[in-house]
Structure 1
Amino acid sequence: MLTALARTATRRPLTVMLLWGLFLLLGFGLGTGVFARLSDNVPEVPGTESESAARYLDEMDPAGSSITGVVAGTPVADAGLRAEVERAVADVRKVAGVAAVPDPYATPGMIAEDGRALIVPVTLEGGLDDDAEERTLDAAADLIREIDAPDVHVSGGPLLGLQMGERAAQDVKNAELISLPVVLALLLVVFGGLRSALLPLVVAVSGIAGAFLALFLFSEVTDISVYAIQVTTMLGLGLAVDYALLMLVRFREERRTTEDVVEAVHRTVAAAGRTVLFSGLTVAVSLTGLLVFPSVFLRSMGLAVAAVVVIDMLAALT
């Protein structure tokens, strides 16, 4: 099987590279949409006593989720600021899905003792589906942020997942910008050539793009934990370098015994490729055991890492 794969790849190298290029575009184009679907409900495990208690409390208190805006940095008694706040409160009350927004100037306890800060709590209607709740949250938060004051912040439990998803996307970008040049420099020292050094990084980027695409597809049927993204990028880079090193070192050994580059590739895939295939499948199959757990966190880890291992393996073999 591996020999046939190697022959196909060497017979049509441009086709193989084009397919991987399209896969990269699809992974980073469509797959990054998973960041908007990430869940921060790590401790939530269906069937546990804590989950049953939370569900019971939700039934006893049918009110929806809530967020809180904080306006600070200037005396809140200022007529201009008061007009801004009252306008924002009136606009938020008109948003579909908002149940209540008390007037901070007429409600005791919502203005700081020093008169330089106030809060604007927003309670949503109960029973909203995820999409409706997200639209309501975004609209209400944006209206509060429009208040003209030195410090305006909006936060709360429902916004946490969205903010963590945005943070995860930024962290992935920063991690790649920092780690990839460092890894490239080390590989240049090890291999002494730019093409050899770049190949592990190409495999790594392919694995990360494939994992994003896989997680996006998985998010259609199950929740994906925000922490799965960091694990995916970390292991995607590490495994790609490992697998590519195995292939490249063996290829250089084969080149010492034959002048035929294509034959050296076939021998490499048949020998080192078998190691990569066995390693990748072993890790992927082992991690699928996490899918039996009802925890979103563990299930996401299994899906993310199994996906990136398989994509890294296929990229290294081709």
Structure 2
Amino acid sequence: MLSTLARAATRRPLTVIGLWAAFLLLGFGLGTGVFADLSDDVPDVPGTESDLADDHLSGIDPTGESVTAVVAGEAVSDAALRAQVERTVAEVRRIAGVSDVPDPYTTPGLTARDGQALVIPVSFEGGLSDEAEEEATDRAVETIKRIDAPDVHVSGGELLGRQLGERAQQDVKKAELISLPVVLALLLVVFGGLRAAALPLVVAVSGIAGAFLGLFVFSRVTDISVYAIQVTTMLGLGLAVDYALLTLVRFREERRYTDDVVEAVHRTVASAGRTVLFSGLTVAVSLTGLLVFPSVFLRSIGLAVAAVVVVDMLAAVTLLPALLTRFGGRIRPSKTRSEDEEGRVFARLARFAQRRRTAVLVTVVPVLLLLALP
């Protein structure tokens, strides 16, 4: 299989690159639509103590979700503002699905002590369908935001999930803007050239696109937690760079023995590609262990992250060989190391472990067992 993938990548590199470019557009175009469907709710597992407690509390107080509005930046005693707020409260009360909207001027505790802010809590009826609750929330928010005041903010309930999704999208963008340049700088130090350093980033971006697309697909059939975004993008970026580094280092070593770039790519995929394939499948299978948990929250994260790992693995054994075929000719081979040369830290560590096998085992195994106990 690996030899077939390598031949396809080297015979039609532009076709392979074009297909992955289309995948990138799909991932960052369609896949980012998942941010509109993220959920901040972590569902209870039926039969657990927390689920039983939630049912008990729901029986005591059967009201539904609620949102809270804060109107600030102007004296709440202003006649024009008071007239607007009272009119808004009356309008929100008439919205289908709204159960209670207390008047902030007559209800104790809903106006600030300094007279510069007030709170409008809106409670919805219990037992509403998701569609009815969403419609009632949107109408209430739209009505409240028509209040002419310097600051009008509404949050809570149904809105909280949307706002967390928007914040997650902003945080992911910020994380990528920070992490990708840092990773590029580190790769430049490792490889000493922009061309070799940029290739792992291309695979990493493909992994992030795969994360978005995988989450979007799974959001069609199950709830996706807002926290899954950070997990999948982080793991997608890390594994993509890891697999690309392994492949690229092997390619530079193969270039020491042949000037034929295509032959070097074939040898690289046959050796490093096998490692990438085994590692990717192992990680993906391990993550699917989350499927045994009864929590939809954990199952969705397991499915999404496993899909991202598979995308990273496929990019490393198809996209990267195609890129190396097109642009690898200018990547410098790794330096030849003489037999008596000591090598770097990890080589010395490996030689030490080989010479002191028993001592290393006696020292390391108990430490690993101690760490595994919790």
**Coarse TM-score class (shorter-chain normalised):** over 0.9
2:218/2:300 contact within 8 Å kept: no
SS in 1 for 2:182: helix
Aligned equivalent of 1:201: 201
1:229/1:304 contact within 8 Å kept: no
Q: Structure 2 CA distance, aligned partners of 1:180 and 1:131?
A: 39
Q: Structure 2 CA distance, aligned partners of 1:259 and 1:117?
A: 74
CA-CA distance at 1:201 after TM superposition: 1.0
Q: Structure 1 CA distance, aligned partners of 2:28 and 2:94?
A: 38
Aligned equivalent of 1:289: 289
Q: Does 1:100 align with 2:93?
A: no
1:98/1:123 contact within 8 Å kept: yes
Q: Which stretches in structure 1 are left out of the alignment for 5+ residues?
A: none
Structure showing greater Rg: 2
Structure 2 matches for 1:171-190, cutoff 5 A? 171-190=171-190
1:251/1:268 contact within 8 Å kept: yes
Q: TM-score, normalised by structure 2?
A: 0.80
Cα deviations across residues 168-192 of structure 1 (Å, max 9, x unaligned)?
1110000001110111111122212
1:247/1:273 contact within 8 Å kept: yes
Aligned equivalent of 1:137: 137
Aligned equivalent of 1:22: 22
SS in 2 for 1:111: coil
Structure 2 matches for 1:23-42, cutoff 5 A? 23-42=23-42
1:227/1:297 contact within 8 Å kept: no
Between the two proteins, what is the percent identity of the paired residues? 78
1:225/1:296 contact within 8 Å kept: no
Aligned equivalent of 1:300: 300
Q: Which stretches in structure 2 are left out of the alignment for 5+ residues?
A: 319-374
Structure 2 matches for 1:94-133, cutoff 5 A? 94-133=94-133
Q: Structure 1 CA distance, aligned partners of 2:268 and 2:131?
A: 50
2:247/2:272 contact within 8 Å kept: yes
4+ runs deviating over 6 angstroms: none
Q: Structure 2 CA distance, aligned partners of 1:46 and 1:204?
A: 38
After TM superposition, the structure 1 stretch with the greater mean CA deviation from structure 2, 93-102 or 191-200, is: 93-102
Aligned equivalent of 1:167: 167
Aligned equivalent of 1:240: 240
CA-CA distance at 1:2 after TM superposition: 0.1
Aligned equivalent of 1:88: 88
After TM superposition, the structure 1 stretch with the greater mean CA deviation from structure 2, 213-222 or 290-299, is: 290-299
CA-CA distance at 1:60 after TM superposition: 4.7
Cα deviations across residues 3-30 of structure 1 (Å, max 9, x unaligned)?
0110011111111111111111111111
Cα deviations across residues 190-227 of structure 1 (Å, max 9, x unaligned)?
21222211111111111111121111111122211111
CA-CA distance at 1:293 after TM superposition: 0.7
CA-CA distance at 1:108 after TM superposition: 4.0
SS in 2 for 1:123: strand
After TM superposition, the structure 1 stretch with the greater mean CA deviation from structure 2, 200-209 or 282-291, is: 200-209
Alignment: residue pair count: 318
SS in 1 for 2:70: strand
Give the letter for the 1:315 counterpart: A
Aligned equivalent of 1:259: 259
CA-CA distance at 1:87 after TM superposition: 3.0
CA-CA distance at 1:137 after TM superposition: 2.0
